[in-house]
Chains A and B, each alone.
Chain A
Amino acid sequence: MAPVDKSKVPWWASNLIVPLVNLTLALLVSGLFIFIAGENPYEAVRLIIYGSFGYIEGFAYTLYYTTNFVFTGLAFAVAFHCRLFNIGGEGQAYIGGLGVFLVAINFSFLPVPIVWLLSIAGAVVFGAAWAFIPAYLQATRGSHVVITTIMFNFIAASLMVFLLVDVIRDTAQMGPHTVALPKEQWFPSFKDFAGLLGIKIRYSPLNISFLLAILASVFVWFLVWKTRWGYEMRAVGHNTQAAIYAGISPYKNIIIAMCISGGLAGLLGVNEILGVHHKIVAGFPAGYGFTGIAVALMGRNHPIGIFPAAFLFGILYQGGSEVTFDMPNITRYMFVAVQGVIILFSGALENLFRPQIESFFVNRLNIKASA
């Protein structure tokens, strides 16, 4: 098959049609899984849609998950533009949460909005610091970030268990978690806002961190495409030799990209600590860091793609838990498999049908042009 002239492919064919085809295929295969497990795939889809959109609290849950995936997805994307595979979002988020908590509890004498801003800064600084060490090793020693960041996830987990058990544990309790932050520091939740409007709804974890996720998306877009920093990071990522020729330091940019990436992952701690748990509980990043990789890949590392991809994974998380409630044959792990299939089709097999789809549209345009 002749290679497709890339310049002639319409943007929507490669950026919309191809991901949609991949997603459809993934869902078909997932449907097959559900069928084999002995349940009705149509019913499962209905439950997913009901669970994530059908009632107000369900939708709020979907958006809460989306918030987390946006943070970790953006984190992965920023590093990826410098061709760094930051697999360490999980650990950076964990340590970021530590930053949030330490700042909030130690500066509680300050006015609340200032505590919030400082806590967000704490999340970014702690997350960035956790990414800095692998970045430094990559830049100076060539130690591959894939290896080091994954190791740093384990180190972060062990460190946090140590801190939560021996150092900052709430001694009045048995569990590995800290004391709760003062109530006035908690982020206003969706439920609070609804209450202001006189609407009574049940609890959901959605809180104003969702707005922070939107801000972070705008920030990443601006950083990567509108600033000199982003430009230099992308130059190093695409062609390190050319970057050196142009006087751009790969060393500096590797460290900057990783620190920004780690800082973004750290923001997950803001959602979880200020918005949901109001204290550090062991294992709060719960795999969001890893799923963020898939979100970024599916969103083609662009905020405009990452947001819908995060939303899709939000639907799967929330709708999936609804399905596991109602369908005894479908376990939680089934939805891990469904996620896996989506990652497979939109990540690893991303280019499976791309040439066919692109050449189809190029041919169609050619026919139109000659007619």
Chain B
Amino acid sequence: MVSPILELTNINKSFGHVHANKNINLTINKGTIHGIIGENGAGKSTLMSIVFGLYQANSGTIKVNGKEINLRSPKDSIINGIGMVHQHFMLVENFTVLENIILGFEGELVFGKNLEKAKKDLKDLCDTYKLNIDLNSTISDLSVGFRQRVEILKSLYRGAEILILDEPTGVLTPQEVDELFKILRSLKEEGKTIVLITHKLIEIMDLTSEVSVMRQGEMVGHTKTENTNKEQLAEMMVGRSVLLRLDKSEVKAGEVLFKVKNLTVKDDLDVTRVKNVDLEIRSGEILGLAGVTGNGQTELLEALSGIRKVESGEIYLEGKKVSDRQNFLDPRKLKDKGLAHVPEDRQRMGLVTDFKAYENLIFGYHDQQPFSKSSVLNHRDIISHSKKIMEEYDVRPQSPNLITSNFSGGNQQKIILSRELNENPKVLLVGQPTRGVDIGAIEFIHQRLIDMRDRGAAILLVSVELDEVLSLSDRIVVMFDGKIVGEKDNKNVTDRELGLLMAGVV
């Protein structure tokens, strides 16, 4: 007999102007594994954070076991039997497993009876669900997969009947994923309810019995998993929204300006994030790199722009090798050779937000004439240059002396773009050029990129916005799990095909 354990009705949530959840209705049945799927920014995590009491909805009701409840904090959710395993674990690294789990629920001042009972209860839970965790090991000694199990155990110990997992496989190896799925299935068999948030179709098909699809803050469909297939889900996920194809001339691709051969890159935790990637970009073309966030695009861009070390493979600029494992050029030398980079995260990397606008407008070019002469900054030339390019790129307000953090996201992006495009680079690497940018600015930015291409630049466009990749690129490659999993000519490709590639289905 199926009975609903969690019912959401007309949930709305806004952050400023962003309507993250619009009139969401969702029913989750007891003892099922329910998948929630959608692209980045579709509102999945926001919705589940509301259920877990981290955010409060602007309107709407939440019922658990048919009873309406008011969730003001995670504590309320825990009392109502809702547990959540976050993408980023909430564990104290230098505590043991046991210490982490009882944290906040110690129940006694001097450890004794309660602790012994907790130990016993936890051992039982571990046995029941085959979690196989040593309670006395320190978190920092555990692998990511085991840390996740600790989070699951923590939720179970606190009496969770509904367990929400937010993108649980993003950080796991394939073997760890298999183990996790085993655990989730055994939890289901014991009558627990699981909500799985993911953007990977393969996991939905593998594990869930019901699935809900979100797109741009709305719930666009519910279905039983057995009644659907990957293609159908991908279509729902990406949507059939009309693409804004820009006016652009036929591609006149010239010689290869930028070439990447068999490139492998590791991240700061020594995990290989880019695996044997080959790329070629010609003069006068835009190569779009599509993919879901976290599939190695960030590390690829950082390696190509000289910020991150290359593990193996080679990078060529205009036919000359610029980087391999032994020798690599730093970002400034690459700039001198005509490579510009608009980084993915403008506030973390592209700008010093505490600087005045004019200081950011010369950032990275500040040691060049006429901005600086024998180490002294030439204030007058910098200001007149800043005024000129702020006007050209329509940065508002047009005041070079304003602190950068006071500009809107779109105008901050224009500051970076004007700085990087102004030098007429031969090769341009662009990451998420329109993330968090208003519609007016998006058009402007897109037009500028097309202009650059028509002037003969080779452009690599990395974006999680499929529409953007489709409307700008001449050729499209898809990255999944650090590898290039497909290359398409933009003329004969559908968003559905790309969606499947992005989800790692094909």
User: What is A's interface to B at a CB cutoff of 8 Å?
Assistant: 6-7, 226-229, 231-232, 234-235, 238-239, 241-248
Min distance, Cβ A220 to any Cβ of chain B, angstroms: 15
* B348 adjacent to A242 (CB under 8 Å): yes
Point out the residues of chain A lying under 8 angstroms from B354, CB to CB. 238-239
* B307 adjacent to A245 (CB under 8 Å): yes
* A228 touching B406 in the complex, CB below 8 Å, given contacts A234-B355, A242-B351: no
Min distance, Cβ B308 to any Cβ of chain A, angstroms: 10
* A228 adjacent to B403 (CB under 8 Å): no
List, sorted by A's number, 10 A–B pairs whose CB atoms are closer than 8 Å: A7-B403, A227-B372, A228-B366, A229-B375, A235-B352, A239-B348, A239-B353, A244-B331, A245-B331, A246-B332
A228 to B366, CA, bound (A): 7
Additional A-B contact list (13), CB under 8 Å, known A239-B352, A242-B350, A245-B343: A6-B403, A228-B366, A228-B367, A231-B359, A235-B355, A239-B351, A239-B354, A244-B307, A245-B364, A246-B331, A247-B331, A247-B335, A248-B364
A211 to B474, CA, bound (A): 66
Point out the residues of chain A lying under 8 angstroms from B349, CB to CB. 239, 241-242, 245
Min distance, Cβ B3 to any Cβ of chain A, angstroms: 45
A6 to chain B: closest residue by CB: B406
* A226 touching B352 in the complex, CB below 8 Å, given contacts A6-B406, A247-B335: no
A235 to B352, CA, bound (A): 7
A247 to B403, CA, bound (A): 22
Point out the residues of chain B lying under 8 angstroms from A239, CB to CB. 348-349, 351-354
* B332 adjacent to A247 (CB under 8 Å): yes
Point out the residues of chain B lying under 8 angstroms from A6, CB to CB. 403, 405-406
Q: Which 6 A-B pairs have the closest CB atoms?
A: A247-B332, A246-B364, A247-B331, A7-B406, A239-B352, A238-B354
A235 to B307, CA, bound (A): 16
* B363 adjacent to A226 (CB under 8 Å): no
* A238 touching B406 in the complex, CB below 8 Å, given contacts A245-B343, A247-B333: no
A6 to B352, CA, bound (A): 17
* B355 adjacent to A238 (CB under 8 Å): yes
B residues 399-447 touching A (CB-CB < 8 Å): 402-403, 405-406
* A238 adjacent to B332 (CB under 8 Å): no
B364 to chain A: closest residue by CB: A246
A246 to B330, CA, bound (A): 9
Point out the residues of chain B lying under 8 angstroms from A246, CB to CB. 331-332, 363-364, 366
* B377 adjacent to A228 (CB under 8 Å): yes
Point out the residues of chain B lying under 8 angstroms from A235, CB to CB. 352, 355, 363
A229 to chain B: closest residue by CB: B375
B376 at the interface (CB under 8 A from A): yes
Point out the residues of chain B lying under 8 angstroms from A231, CB to CB. 359, 366, 377
A245 to B298, CA, bound (A): 13
Q: Mark B71-108, 1 if CB is under 8 A from A, else 0.
A: 00000000000000000000000000000000000000
A6 to B348, CA, bound (A): 20
